[in-house]
Amino acid sequence: MSGAGILRRRLYRDGVGLTDNAPVLAELIDALYADRSASDARADDSAQLLSDLELLHEPDAGGDCPTCVVEAPCITLRLLRREVGIEDAVASVRDHRVIDLDSGRVTPAVPSLKELLAIAPHGVDRYFEALLGLPPADESKDQPKAS
């Protein structure tokens, strides 16, 4: 028998034992298991979100989408089902009428900077009076009148 055969028999007769790398391999396996568990959880969350979005965009009895308020077929549902790509979806909605959500809102007039600077800053005066321990100059203009 050759020297290589004896060496091979001696190595495999005793079986494969633990090496010095066993703790490193155990940490690697634990990290892979944790990463796989996290990916499974993310996949479950994504599947749930996709299911919820599909339910929101299911057509009503007339075939129109109740969420998008557009006529059938709902482009969002077609995107979710990968029936169309994003380029086709953008091209299909490019000519649709835009809903103006801001049309009924009344915004108050914004005063000019000149008007804002013309207002006397009574709060600063009261702060410095309190800081210096001075009595308030005129409390009647700051207090609301009792009826």
Question: Averaging pLDDT over each range in 45-49, 74-78, 100-104, 123-127, which range is the top one?
Answer: 45-49
Answer yes or no: are the C-beta atoms of 129 and 135 closer than 8 Å.
Answer: yes
- CA angle 113-118-120, nearest 5°? 125
What is the tens place of the pLDDT at every residue in 62-117? 777 878 777 777 888 888 888 888 888 887 777 666 666 667 777 888 889 999 88
